[in-house]
Amino acid sequence: MQNPVPAISGKSSTGLDENIAALLTYVVGWVSGLVFFLIEKDSKLVRFHAMQSILFSVLVGVVCFVGWIVTLVFDSDLGRYWSRFADCLDYVFGASLPG
């Protein structure tokens, strides 16, 4: 039985090894994924992981939002959650919402 030949890691267009650049696409979620997706021109591996990082971050955001909605529906103290959501939106977008 022969040992498999180790994979040779190429360089990406960022100057980093492909495996390191692919790892870095997950560091800051969709932001780092988007950055690497836009700047990477050569490596399909890095672009794949960048897109996967973006989609995973969106999925996590949707799951959190759905969880918030479920909590909102099944809790009797709706005002407390509306206030937290309004504060979150105000912090993120600078929008003032009633509540």
- Select the more confidently predicted residue: 36 or 11: 36
pTM confidence score: 0.66
**Tens digits of residue pLDDT in 82-93:** 666 666 666 665
Using pLDDT thresholds of 50, 70 and 90, give the confidence band for residue 50.
very high
Using pLDDT thresholds of 50, 70 and 90, give the confidence band for residue 34.
very high
Residue (of 36, 10, 8) closest to 24 by Cα position: 36
If 0-12 CB within 10 Å is exposed, 13-18 middle and 19+ buried, where does residue 19 land?
Answer: middle
Residue 61 confidence (pLDDT) above 60: yes
Domain locations along the chain: 18-93
- CA dist 9 and 21 (Å) reads 11
